[in-house]
Amino acid sequence: MRSNRYPVSVLGAGHGGLALAGYLSLRNHPVALWNRSPERISGVASLGGVRLASGTEGPRFAPIASATADIEEAVSFARRILVALPASAHAEVALACAPYLRDGQTVLLVPGRTGGALEFRRVLRDAGCSARVLLGEANTFPFAARCIGPADAHIYGTKAEVIAASLPASRTAELIDAWRPMLPMLAPTRSVLHTGLSNLGAILHPVIALLNAGRIRSGETFDFYTDGVTPAVAAALSAADEERLRVARAYGVTTLSLRAWVASAYGHHSDTVSEAVGGNPAYRGIKAPNTLNHRYLLEDVPTGLVPLLGLGAAAGLVLPTLTWLVGQARAALGGERWQRPRTLEALGLAKLGVGAIRALVEGEPTSRRVESAVPVEGFAVGRELVQV
């Protein structure tokens, strides 16, 4: 009889990773939880687990098999590896994992933001990783969650559906089969263009943070989504989201609007963006950051807005709202302070047009070796071999 227990390694013990580790443990999956800084997981190591609250339910104890700062130990623990880190750390963690990955493992970025799997694969290739690894990404995190203590997490809401795809797209069914026993909300989508262009964090977080910059700088305590989405903020969200949808259409990608995505992900149906975001019960109680030096800008701009603008430029689009948001983020942070922005060059997409980019992520690999392994040498595009 097939076992329903699947060992999983969760990389990252922040807001998402801590909750994810507890969630999986409470469903009887052995979990290794890794974080680069030992102090971040010292509470979990001392307690032997995570105290996880969900919705209005009080905390339950979720045992953690291994809480470690040793990346080799974490990568060697399981065939299934979840990367639950800010997207700005994907390149760094890919480099750290590269020496220890082995044939048959699967790595899922939750989420990949925009271009995560492409960046991760490029780093593995550059590091000389030859393990046959199944790599994929989700478009968003499965929960709205927060750390509320060193070993305590709260899941405020669980998404009804999270789309995911593999790179290359020919292995997406295999990816979903591997992960759905642990994450039943996963649903397949056509390619990592579809996950990346469905990255609503790139719209939600920078818009709300930047248009509430004065409140954040003053130290005001307010609910980020419930109180932060004023009529003016809702209008900016709508404008930015319409430009994201324009980029998606240019690449033949069908994706949900912000309002429709909230309805699909959380089951919260509404007629306006203001009500969709500000009235979403799953967002209630999530406080605004007390600084703009926060992942809402430091992560979501370089790994969300920057690649979105790059893809738009490759398609010949002018995107004034998204361009303004990137400029405002630079000004708010006192200059461009983020690391490793996901330019098309960083993703291996430089000088490619729409058709070549689509073929690269969706097309069949040029050889069996390329199909099943990283590094990937290239894809056939028309009569040419596009190097990645």
User: Where are the domains positioned within the chain?
Assistant: 8-196, 201-332
Reported for 96-99, long-range contacts at CB under 8 A and 24+ positions apart, including other chains, are: 96/71, 97/11, 97/71, 97/124, 98/123, 98/124, 98/127, 98/128, 98/129, 99/72, 99/127, 99/129
Average pLDDT over residues 48-76: 95
- In this model, does residue 339 exceed pLDDT 80? no
Using pLDDT thresholds of 50, 70 and 90, give the confidence band for residue 340: confident
Query: What are the pLDDT digits (tens) for 93-144?
Result: 999 999 999 999 999 999 999 999 999 999 999 999 999 999 999 998 998 8
Average pLDDT over residues 166-190: 95
Say if 8-196 and 201-332 have the same CATH topology.
no
- In this model, does residue 292 exceed pLDDT 80? yes
Tell me how far CA of residue 266 lies from CA of 182, 183, 197, 203, 376, in angstroms: 19, 15, 19, 17, 36
What confidence score (pLDDT) does residue 3 get? 56
- In this model, does residue 1 exceed pLDDT 80? no
**Fold for the domain defined by 8-196:** Rossmann fold (3.40.50)
Using pLDDT thresholds of 50, 70 and 90, give the confidence band for residue 55: confident
Annotated catalytic residue 205:
yes
Catalytic residue among 90, 154, 194, 205: 205
Using pLDDT thresholds of 50, 70 and 90, give the confidence band for residue 363: low
Annotated catalytic residue 269:
no
- In this model, does residue 365 exceed pLDDT 70? no
DSSP 84: -
Report the alpha-carbon distance of residue 37 to residue 18 in Å, rounded.
14
Q: What percent of the chain has pLDDT over 90?
A: 82
Q: What percent of the chain has pLDDT over 70?
A: 93
| Angle (CA) 180 79 137, round 5° | 50
| Angle (CA) 161 298 241, round 5° | 50
Whole-model pTM: value is: 0.83
- The dotted CATH code for 201-332 is 1.10.1040.10
Catalytic residue among 90, 152, 154, 300: 300
Using pLDDT thresholds of 50, 70 and 90, give the confidence band for residue 149: very high
- In this model, does residue 73 exceed pLDDT 50? yes
Residue type, position 60, single letter: R
Round the average pLDDT of the chain to a whole number and report it: 90
Using pLDDT thresholds of 50, 70 and 90, give the confidence band for residue 325: very high
Average pLDDT over residues 202-223: 97
Report the alpha-carbon distance of residue 143 to residue 258 in Å, rounded.
17
Could you tell me if 112 and 303 are in contact, meaning their C-beta atoms sit under 8 angstroms apart?
A: no
Q: Name residues whose C-beta falls within 8 Å of residue 380's C-beta, 6 or more positions apart in sequence.
A: 359, 363, 364, 366, 386
Using pLDDT thresholds of 50, 70 and 90, give the confidence band for residue 4: confident
Using pLDDT thresholds of 50, 70 and 90, give the confidence band for residue 56: confident
- In this model, does residue 219 exceed pLDDT 80? yes
What confidence score (pLDDT) does residue 266 get? 86
Token pair for 205: 């977080």
